[in-house]
Amino acid sequence: MRRTIALLTAVGLMLPLAAHALNERVWMMANGIGSTYDMSTLNTELDATNAAYGTTFPHVTRGGSFGGAVGLETADRWNYGLGYDRLAATTQSSDSTGTSEYRFGANAWRVFAEYALRPIGRSTLFVGGAFGMVQERGKMRFTSPGFVPQEFKTIGTNPLIEGYLGGNLWATSTFGLTATVGYRFAKVKETKLEGGYPLTTTNGQPLDLNFSGPTVRIGFKLAAKSFGEL
């Protein structure tokens, strides 16, 4: 998490140099995220585990988390930048013997382009698209009374594609609220334990984690003044 914040901050510090050369505007965004997931493979395995061992794992169908982005607006109202979302996907089962918890969280990195109907600092609608990667960075955690908890980290990486519509509502020329609604394609086709051991389904196929689905972001933007206004 600290590395993520450091990277976005570093990009945010470099963008003003580009903006100065182009006489454009830079902005930063922080937002919350609500997503639904197409975790059909995982949920089938949870059903099989519940039937075989009497566990009570609920399906994973959605997740809420946080994200952020840094961007640069050009003179023709195109925005370009780098965004990050932390995708949460958790389920657990508990009984008198202990708790089993699957935290299949993932990092979603994207490079995006957006076109706004009006310049930044003015309330407007925009359309956007993004390409990047989804990185499975989660863990399976098992706890039992009287024993040290066991944790196994999960990994996996695949491409990500996203399209969305959004809007900005600016209170001032430098501070505003923002929201987007769109669809994310982000499927980790093969999930492994850290170290390379693959996780498989009951029929021997690779366990995929599919974070694809409708996505909503709501947050705020901070925009710098253009260098021509300083």
Listed by start position, the domains of the chain span 2-223
**Residue 211 and residue 38: Cα distance in Å, rounded?**
6
Give yes or no for a contact between 117 and 167, defined as CB atoms under 8 angstroms apart.
no
- 149 to 174, 196, 205: CA distances (angstroms): 48, 22, 28
* pLDDT value at residue 21: 46
Using CA atoms of 129, 16, 124, 185 in order, give the dihedral in degrees to the nearest 10: 20
Q: Specify whether the backbone of 82 is left (phi greater than 0), alpha (psi in -120 to 50) or beta.
A: beta
**Residue 125 and residue 116: Cα distance in Å, rounded?**
6
Could you tell me the two tokens for 52?
């075989």
Mean pLDDT in consecutive groups of 10 residues from the start of the chain, 230 residues: 52 48 80 96 96 96 94 92 96 94 96 95 95 97 93 97 97 95 97 94 95 97 69
* pLDDT value at residue 20: 44
**Residue 149 and residue 100: Cα distance in Å, rounded?**
10
Using CA atoms of 161, 177, 13, 229 in order, give the dihedral in degrees to the nearest 10: 120
Q: Where are the beta strands (DSSP E) in the chain?
A: 25-36, 62-73, 78-87, 90-95, 98-103, 106-116, 124-143, 150-170, 175-188, 192-193, 209-210, 213-223
Could you tell me the two tokens for 171?
């209170």
pTM of the predicted model as reported, rounded to 2 decimal places: 0.86
Domain 2-223: assigned CATH number? 2.40.160.20
Give yes or no for a contact between 115 and 78, defined as CB atoms under 8 angstroms apart.
yes
Residue 56 — φ and ψ, nearest 5°?
-130, 45
**Residue 64 and residue 174: Cα distance in Å, rounded?**
27
* pLDDT value at residue 3: 56
